[in-house]
Amino acid sequence: MIEYIIGHINYWLIVAIMMVGLYTLMSRSNLIKKLAGLSMFQTAVILFYVSLGKVTGGTVPIISEKYSLYSNPLPQVLMLTAIVVGVATTALGFALVIRIKEAYNSVEENEISAMDEKE
């Protein structure tokens, strides 16, 4: 039982962070906060992947004569790509927020959809 918990608690905490991120994204009306939530959600997924690659007693995957056990490079490579995709999405999101602010003079989703309804 204890072993099961020790082996899994890392993943459970990551799941909890994902949930907080998604909740921030869905429950908040402020567009910037939504993007922060989105970013947290993505980061938690990235953390999950990198955890998959960890090997106990292993070392950084740079070949050297001193070590024989290395962590898995593949999840790390995938996540480098995912981080870049994440920042690209966030940047585009912020650009949209600036334009929305100029067009609606608000960054609150409630107010904006109320304005859209009126038209």
Partner 1 sequence: MANDLILRVVTKWLSPIIILFALYVQFHGDYSPGGGFQAGVIFSSAILLYALTYGLDAALQLIPEYILRIGASLGVLIYGGVGVASMILGGNFLNYSVLGSTPVAGQHLGIIIIELGVGITVASVMVLLFFTFARRVAPE
Partner 2 sequence: MEQLTILLIVIPLMVAPITALIPSEKVTWFLTLIVCLISLGISCYILYEVIDGSHVIYELGGWRPPWGIEYKIDSLNAFVALIVSAIGCLSCLFAYRSVPDEIEEKMIPLFYAAFQLCLLGLLGIALTGDIFNLFVFLEISSLSSYALISMGKNRKALTAAFSYLILGTIGATFFLIGVGFLFAASGSLNTADIASRFDSFKDMQLVETALIFMVLGIALKAAIFPLHSWLPNAYSQAPSTVGIFLSATATKVSIYVLLRILYDLYPFDYWVDMLLPQIMLSLGCVAVIYGSYRAWQQTEMKRLLAFSSVAQIGYIVIGFSLVSQLGLTAAILHLFNHALIKSTLFIGAGILLYRANTTELGSLRGLGRDMPWTFAAITLAGLSLIGVPGTVGFVTKWYLLEAAVEKGMWIVVITIVLGSVLAIGYVWKIVENLYFRSKHKVHIQDVPSGDSAIARTPKTMSIALWIGAILCIFFGLNTELSFEAASSAATALLKQ
Partner 3 sequence: MSLVVNLVLLVFLLVMALAVLKTRHLFAMAMLFGLYSLLVAGLFVVLDAPDVAFTEAAVGTGISTVLMLVTLASIKDGHELISTQKSRTAPLIICVLMGGLLIYGTHDIAELGDAQSAPHMQVAARYIEKGQEETGVPNLVTAVLASYRGFDTLGEVTVVLTAGIGVLMLLGSRKKLRIKEVSNGK
Q: Which residues bind partner 1 (CB under 8 A)?
A: 60, 62, 80, 84, 91, 94-95, 98
- CA atoms in the 13 A half-sphere facing the CB of 81: 6
- CA atoms of 48 and 78, how far apart (whole Å): 12
The nearer residue to partner 1, 16 or 83, going by C-beta atoms, is: 83
Cα angle, residue 79 at apex, residues 19 and 96 outer, rounded to 5°: 65
Residues that bind partner 2 (CB under 8 A): 22, 25, 31, 34, 38, 41-42, 45, 48-49, 52, 75, 78, 81-82, 85, 88-89, 92-93, 96-97, 99-100, 103-104, 112-113, 116, 119
